Amino acid sequence: MSGARISSISADSPAANVDLAVGDELVAVNGRAPSDIIEYQQLIDGDDVTLLIRRDGEPLQRRVIVRKQAGQPLGLSIDSAVFDRIRTCDNHCSFCFIYQLPKGMRRSLYVKDDDFRLSFLYGNYTTLTRFTEFDLERVIDEKLSPLYVSIHSTNPELRAQMLRNPRGATSLRWLRELLRAGIEVHAQVVVCPGVNDGAELVRTLHDVFSLYPELTSVALVPVGVSSFSLEESMRPHTAQEALDVVELAERFQRFGQGLLGRVSVFASDEFYLVAGLTPPSATQFESLDQAENGIGLVAAFRQSFIDQTPMERLGTGFFQSVDGAPAWGYRAPRGGDREVRFGDEVIVITGEYAAPLLRDLLDEHGFHDVSILSVANGYFGGNIKVAGLLTGQDLIRALENVSASSVCLLPDVCLSEGRFLDGLTLDDLPRPVTTVRTTGSDLRSTLESVRSTRLVTS
């Protein structure tokens, strides 16, 4: 990506009162050309802001002065978070899901980033293999915290082997420097059976407490293996292997509680489900900073459903607090919301992992008349069973035998900017489907709304 273009201008904002238009490119802000949305935010934080813009079709650049108070939002939304170029990942990890994508999907899905700026803004994980002294200085000076770091293994040789990058053996030195400078860091270990589990995982967790005790959290997540994987060494966890990871995580939770007075190591909900166990309750988590990694996601959804309390869309990073930063990728606007209509049967559509949990939750709270449609992921196959990776093709197949009079509710996590991963939209489905924000409170309020409509019409 290059340049920063205005994607929208808020009404009644300082920017709305000057000669700016959607599509204008920001060349400079107060005499400097910002390299990303972080620097842009710093430059516009004061009072009056001078913008140098380039408008399509015009040979000369325009100088625009926006009158505003210090700290007041400028009112512009920018179409990208990085204005120079995304720092792409030069690792070739054997477990990387991008290498397991079929051909023909949207180009943006094949972009691998290893950019600390996107780690700060969006909670993307970085291996630090492209991190530099200059980056460290900027992170410390600008207090870009928290950051999200992929550890995978603290064994230098094994880490370099897993990342297929010799710098993987040494790049965790930057993690030590970040923690020494007081930067909050969340870490993850993608556990691959027969590779970095067992004794190697024990070593990694011991090193976490001895070398990086300041880490806020460490998420143990299972490797995702689709049917498109060409890596012979990659396979899903067995139930026993998943149980071993859960027991190891809980062992180090007790160890951390005794040593540091807090719990920092967590196994993802998926490990519990594969092992045939119930994921931990909400009271067992101090925060949900790793929810997108599946750490406490089930507990948060369940608690939100029970209490009917607003549960903001789980997201990491500071993108929401940075003026104008767009929501990309997994955090992009879902779109496609439709008004819930009346129907004979109510069906909640979800993935194979969530289906039995939702069934129990609905039965516990009197929604026995609501059906669950568990959709197998035929597009990716393998052990991909989460709702967020369902595609339009999966849903077309699953909806073939569903009555046209049914109310079908779909979690909006399946969509990004109104499209499924395979590029299809809700309009491509064989029958109307209503999207619901992927929170427990939103699902419950929707179900109660449908129930109330039934009572009124009957």
328 is a domain residue: no
CA-based nearest residue to 210, from 255, 171, 162, 163: 255
Shared domain check, 166 and 300: yes
402 in the same domain as 282: no
* CA-closest candidate to residue 105, choices 419, 321, 336: 419
pTM of the model: 0.87
- Could you tell me the strand order of the sheet in which 185-191 lies? 147-150, 185-191, 217-222, 265-267
Contact residues for 314 (Cβ-Cβ < 8 A; gap 6+): 288, 291, 292, 297, 300
Q: What would the DSSP string read from start to end of 228-252? A: T---TT--PPPHHHHHHHHHHHHHH
Domain that holds residue 391: 333-457
Alpha-carbon radius of gyration of the chain: 24
Sign of torsion, CA 246 250 256 259?
Answer: negative
The CATH number that applies at residue 279 is: 3.80.30.10
Does any domain span residue 88? Answer: no
DSSP H or E stretch at residue 177: helix 173-180
Residue 15 lies in a domain: yes
Over residues 270-322, the pLDDT tens digits come to: 999 999 999 998 778 777 778 778 888 898 899 889 987 765 544 444 333 44
The per-residue pLDDT for 293 is 80
pLDDT for residue 340: 56
Residue 141 lies in a domain: yes
Q: What's residue 333's pLDDT?
A: 54
Look at residue 147 in the predicted model and tell me its pLDDT: 96
Domain at 396, CATH number: 3.40.50
Note whether 444 and 308 are within 8 A (CB): yes
Burial of 274 (0-12, 13-18, 19+ CB in 10 A): buried
Q: pLDDT per residue over 178-212, tens digit each?
A: 999 999 999 999 999 999 999 999 999 999 999 99
Query: What whole-number distance in Å separates Cα of residue 339 and Cα of residue 396?
Result: 21
Match 């516990």 to its residue by tokens. Answer: 364
A 10 A CB-CB count for 371 gives: 16
Point out the domain boundary residue: 78, 105, 138. 78
Q: Is residue 117 part of a domain?
A: yes
Max alpha carbon distance in the chain (Å)? 69
Same domain, residue pair 137 and 245: yes
302, 348: one domain = no
- DSSP symbol at 43: H
Judge if 111 and 164 occupy the same domain.
yes
Rounded CA separation 161/205 (Å) = 19
Last residue of a domain, one of 284, 300, 321: 321
Do the domain assignments include residue 1?
A: no
Q: Domain end: 321, 353, 384, which one?
A: 321
Same domain, 173 and 288: yes
Question: CA–CA distance from 93 to each of 36, 112, 219, 223, 307 (Å)?
Answer: 27, 11, 18, 11, 41
CA separation for the pair 311, 438 (Å, rounded): 9
Task: Indicate whether 59 and 182 sit together in one domain.
Answer: no
Residue 145 identity (one-letter amino acid): S
pLDDT value of position 282: 77
Successive 10-residue mean pLDDT values, the chain, 458 residues:
81 94 94 93 93 92 95 90 88 90 80 90 92 97 95 98 97 98 96 97 97 96 92 93 98 94 93 94 76 85 84 44 49 53 80 95 95 95 91 95 91 87 92 90 91 60
Structure tokens at 165: 């990058």
Verify that 137 and 21 share a domain, yes or no: no
348 and 312 in a common domain: no
Q: Are residues 313 and 175 in the same domain?
A: yes
**92 located within any domain:** no
pLDDT tens readout for residues 313-356: 444 443 334 444 555 554 455 555 555 555 578 999 999 999 99
Amino acid type, 384: I
CATH number of the domain that 37 lies in? 2.30.42.10
Same domain, 313 and 339: no
For the chain, the domain total comes to 3
Which of 440, 329, 24, 201 has its CA nearest to residue 448?
Answer: 440
pLDDT number for residue 2: 54
As a whole number of angstroms, the distance between CA 42 and CA 32 comes to: 11
Residues 337 and 439 placed together within one structural domain of the fold: yes
In a domain, 327, yes or no: no
